[in-house]
Amino acid sequence: MGFSESRLRAVGVDVKALARQSKGQRADVVLPPQILTMTRYWLKLGGKSTPHWPQFQILAVAEIVPYLTIAECLSDGSFSFAFVGSAVAAFLGEDLGNRAISAATPVLGEIDWYRRCVPVSESADIQVLSGRTDPPYTSAVEFMAADFPFVTDAEGTVSHVVGVTVPRVN
């Protein structure tokens, strides 16, 4: 089955505001707890600005590691997966570790990773999406995802995009 643009769509939600709500407050939008955990961590590191990559400690979010992807931003505008969590690899039916993402090869595992990474690297802000993947040899999976930028220099150039991708449970 070929990739379709309708499979990846922006979710119009202020994930930062949801993450700042206390546990007793009721939210209109329900996001997976893994996305809220990463959002709270990202906000803790950066406050009002994009956090620096050296601050990121994967063990600080150990409970959501299976749902993480880490894409390194390369100087030519492409990306390379430095890490793919076991839950993501399982529902994609393949490990994308060390695979490249570019305008020429945007789709891996039936997800347009280029479309996920580029807006985050350009805006240096969080992006929340929902989508569907139907890779060969596995069942179709609906998912929610959020991508988080990290910078390495004072100019605010994004060097890494940490993604959280969580299968939807109906």
Residue 47: inside a domain, yes or no? yes
The domain in which residue 130 lies consists of 5-19+29-144+151-167
* Complete DSSP assignment for 45-100: HHTTSPPBGGG--GGGGGGGGGGEEEEEEPTTS-EEEEEE-HHHHHHHTS--TT-E
Tell me the pLDDT band of 6, cut-offs 50, 70 and 90: very low
Residue 77: inside a domain, yes or no? yes
Cα gap 9→62, rounded to integer Å: 28
Check residue 169 and give its pLDDT. Answer: 67
Q: How many domains does the chain have?
A: 1
Would you say residue 4 has pLDDT above 50? no
Tell me the pLDDT band of 39, cut-offs 50, 70 and 90: very high
144 neighbors 32 (Cβ within 8 angstroms): yes
Report the residue count for the chain. 170
CB atoms within 10 A of CB 158: 21
144 neighbors 31 (Cβ within 8 angstroms): yes
Residue 24: inside a domain, yes or no? no
Residue 158: inside a domain, yes or no? yes
Check residue 9 and give its pLDDT. Answer: 67
Give the list of residues 6+ apart from residue 93 with CB closer than 8 angstroms, or none: 109, 135, 136, 137, 138
Q: Which two tokens stand for residue 11?
A: 């979710």
Taking only the tens place, the pLDDT of each residue in 12-37 is 666 767 677 766 555 555 789 999 99
Would you say residue 142 has pLDDT above 60? yes
Taking only the tens place, the pLDDT of each residue in 40-95 is 999 999 888 899 999 999 999 999 999 999 999 999 999 999 999 999 998 888 88
Cα gap 134→140, rounded to integer Å: 4
Tell me the pLDDT band of 138, cut-offs 50, 70 and 90: low
Would you say residue 117 has pLDDT above 90? yes
73 neighbors 161 (Cβ within 8 angstroms): yes
Would you say residue 5 has pLDDT above 80? no
Check residue 20 and give its pLDDT. Answer: 72
